Structure 1
Amino acid sequence: MAERRLRTAASVAGTVAAVYVSARLVTTLFFWIAAELSGPTSRFGPDATIGSLAMGWDSQWYWVIADQGYPSTLPVGENGQVTENAWAFLPLFPWLARALGTALGGYPAGAVILAIVAGYAASVVFFVLLRDRIGETASLWAVVFFANGPIAAMFQMGYSESLGLLWLFLALWALLRRRFGWMYPIIVLMGFTRPGVLAFALLLGLYGSYRWIRRREDPLPVGHVVHIVALGALATIVGFAWQAIAGIVTGDPSAYLDTELAWRRSWVGSEEQFVPFAGFVKAAGVWFGIWGLPPVLGVVVLVILVLGAAAVLARSRQVRRLGPEIRLWGVSYLVYLLAVFFPQSSTFRLLLPLSPVAAAVAVPRSLWWRGGVLVLCLAGQWLWIHEMLALGDTFFRIP
């Protein structure tokens, strides 16, 4: 039995590796073309290389954290308001990348290799997470779409996305298998890698409610109740821990929120305090105003999109096959984004944690359908790389 499990695990690891490596070769080709197209107006200049693209944009902030740490005094502008600084980024990725970089000749190598390896590990867990729900073939296609998706450049840039996805997929896998003990360390790792652990706290609350409602069909032991409540409390504490740490180090209790608000002031001007759910409403008006359309129309479109997402999560046959845990994760993460995020050009990147829900597109068995989805993924990936890296010259080309 153990030998058969080992062979199965090796087969899965090898098959996913073949998919993942081929996807990274395609992305590398796209990077090379983008570097050749980069010109004097691009952020990367006419001398761009694959390496400089891989360490572009927010990768630089992680490098600053690895090299200098976090500021004990918040930087402020001429108006006295906090400006953009490292406190907006969590520490686990740059710390691990710095440690890996000591053996690989420098931080950039450590950051990119960590992103690539974590992306592969996330792909393996992604396959295992989906296999029992949609079958091996559909799960492998889901990995193909995931590894080649529109934002697949993240898997070989110095960003924390792939590491964050690894922890998320492991946590969802543990929840599906009801291996609650494994989730305690995973939640802590998740909470110090990428923002979003509060969405997982909401998931645990919804999951606990779902299990309670169905306790006659699916018994809910006391031990499960204790774990669900404890894990939800842990996720909530970890979700606010970084704010507390930033406040203690800088002596300013609002250091983290002020830092986050600094990133959106270029869009909305002065914003004195964070108001949940206000970001999307403001952004809808801002974007539609930029496009020369009535700002109120943006709010209408936002409502339609929210209702559409709710309908897909509730009614789509393909999404329902993924199971209640993944569907509840989709609800939780979308509510989290609506509550805290100001949508701009990085919106697509922030949708990556919805990959388990998006795996529903792999369920239809038609080869034409799956081939068409793959073509759209690759086209979207090239478009993203071209806009954000080859051009990268204006406010809507910031990943």
Structure 2
Amino acid sequence: MAERRLTTRIAGRWDALPAALRIGVLYIGARLATTGLLLLAARASGPGSRFGADASLADLLAGWDAQWYWLVAVSGYPTELPLTDGGQVAENAWAFLPVYPAVAAVVGAPLGSWVAGASAVSLVAGYGATYVLYRLLRERIGARAALWAAVLFASSPLAALFHVGYAESLFLLLLLLALWQVQRRRYAWLYLLVPLMGFTRPGVLAFSLFLALHGIHRWVIRRDAALPGRDVVHIVATGLLAAVVGFSWIGIAALVTGRPDAYLATELAWRRVWLPNAEAGFVPFEGVVQASAFWASQLGLPPAVGVVVFVAAVAGAALWLWRGRTARRLGVDLRLWSASYLLYLLAVFFPQSSTFRLLLPLSPLWGAVAVPRSWVWRIGALVVCLLAQGWWIHEMYALGDTFWRVP
């Protein structure tokens, strides 16, 4: 009896703490766990790894794409695109947008290095994203489930991205803030958030599509939920702003380099790592078809099998978003965003080893995982997240020695 009273008292005091503080405590715990896994990966790194046998935590934080963001911070963007021996555009800095490396440089100046600034920005933005995700979901699934969703998000399989010099943390913070403001019908904030988001990571075109679908939905239900004229103006204006921002980097790259295809050719340079004989030029939705055939061939299956499996997976995801009981608990807006982003990925992306990282903007769907009230389910989901996180860090950072171990 005394133990039960003590447990109840502790739980009551925990619940009485401000949400920002509770999220902070849980986030710090998750970051300590991830730091431990990264240290283990550095220790396990061998001669065959990208990071070598004497890897340190700092090496891992500055690895992979973080090198490109650092290059943008110190050297900017090339005015002349580098070319391969075959005359095709080679990998270069135009694939990486400027907000994150610039912010990391400012923060890193007093800390002594760009890497320190980048890690600090990722850690702080990750906390902000975790807190905003909680606030975003609380209105839909309740405070306790939203807190569990925040814990799963902070401990997710790719939680190392809250530490390393990647733009994902900052982009997620901006994206979740934007979704939260749409959910609260405070559209004026989008005039600030959309440009910041659009120059942090690719994906703002998906937000433009989301705003279009959001506006259509509000129009359809206008008899049940008022649609003031000012909201119509804001939805249309910010949707168009997101589209302009989304395409503007193509124009900026073309203006600086003198090549109209500078940005798209740069992005396709990474695809040639997987398909050396791929034809030049970007064609929407072509990448997913090529990837389906490629991965089927890697498994010794006919290309058609890969396409069929991919189509079935897309259909299943669409059906779950539309009809799934836990997905419906999230509300229309978060499901429309998820559908918009998935369609955007289908149009522009070649699915490969970075696929899981590219799915991070779907993080509001952690709310659907957290909805079931079973403690066994929630704790089991957390354990799976931590195990998957350890596996991903080991594969990408301790090993990192083959084409499918690129984060």
The answer (yes or no) to whether the contact 1:261–1:271 under 8 Å persists in 2 is no
Say whether residues 1:174 and 2:181 are aligned partners.
yes
Could you tell me which residue of structure 2 aligns to residue 3 of structure 1?
Answer: none
Q: Which of residues 37, 40, 51 in structure 2 aligns to 1:44?
A: 51
Letter of the structure 1 residue corresponding to residue 204 of structure 2? V
Aligned positions, number: 392
Render the CA deviation track for 1:230-283: whole Å, top value 9, x for unaligned: 011000000001111111111111100000011101222232110001101100
Q: Which of residues 330, 350, 362 in structure 1 aligns to 2:338?
A: 330
Q: Which structure 2 residues correspond to residues 216-231 of structure 1 after superposition, within 5 A?
A: 216-231=223-238
Q: Gaps (5+ residues) in structure 2? A: 1-14
Find the residue that maps to 2:156 and give its secondary structure.
coil
Could you tell me which residue of structure 2 aligns to residue 380 of structure 1?
Answer: 388
Say whether residues 1:91 and 2:98 are aligned partners.
yes
Distance in 1 between residues matched to 2:193 and 2:214, nearest whole Å: 17
Q: How far did 1:12 drift? A: 1.2
Q: Which structure 2 residues correspond to residues 116-195 of structure 1 after superposition, within 5 A?
A: 116-195=123-202
Q: Which structure 2 residues correspond to residues 177-326 of structure 1 after superposition, within 5 A?
A: 177-268=184-275, 269-326=277-334
Render the CA deviation track for 1:313-339: whole Å, top value 9, x for unaligned: 011111111111000001000000000
Find the residue that maps to 1:266 and give its secondary structure.
coil
Find the residue that maps to 2:226 and give its secondary structure.
coil
Render the CA deviation track for 1:177-221: whole Å, top value 9, x for unaligned: 000101110001000001000000000010111111111111211
Letter of the structure 2 residue corresponding to residue 33 of structure 1? L
Say whether residues 1:33 and 2:22 are aligned partners.
no
Q: How far did 1:9 drift? A: 11
Render the CA deviation track for 1:93-123: whole Å, top value 9, x for unaligned: 0000001111111101000011000000111
Q: State the TM-score, normalizing by the size of structure 1.
A: 0.97
Distance in 1 between residues matched to 2:236 and 2:35, nearest whole Å: 44
Q: How far did 1:358 drift? A: 3.0
Distance in 1 between residues matched to 2:16 and 2:346, nearest whole Å: 38
Distance in 2 between residues matched to 1:144 and 1:17, nearest whole Å: 10
Distance in 2 between residues matched to 1:35 and 1:265, nearest whole Å: 29
RMSD: 1.1
Letter of the structure 2 residue corresponding to residue 331 of structure 1? A
Distance in 1 between residues matched to 2:172 and 2:245, nearest whole Å: 17
Distance in 2 between residues matched to 1:319 and 1:47, nearest whole Å: 45
Q: Gaps (5+ residues) in structure 1? A: 1-7
Distance in 1 between residues matched to 2:228 and 2:17, nearest whole Å: 35
Q: Which of residues 30, 33, 37 in structure 2 aligns to 1:23?
A: 30
Letter of the structure 2 residue corresponding to residue 173 of structure 1? W
Could you tell me which residue of structure 2 aligns to residue 371 of structure 1?
Answer: 379
Find the residue that maps to 2:89 and give its secondary structure.
coil
Q: How far did 1:223 drift? A: 1.1
Q: State the TM-score, normalizing by the size of structure 2.
A: 0.95
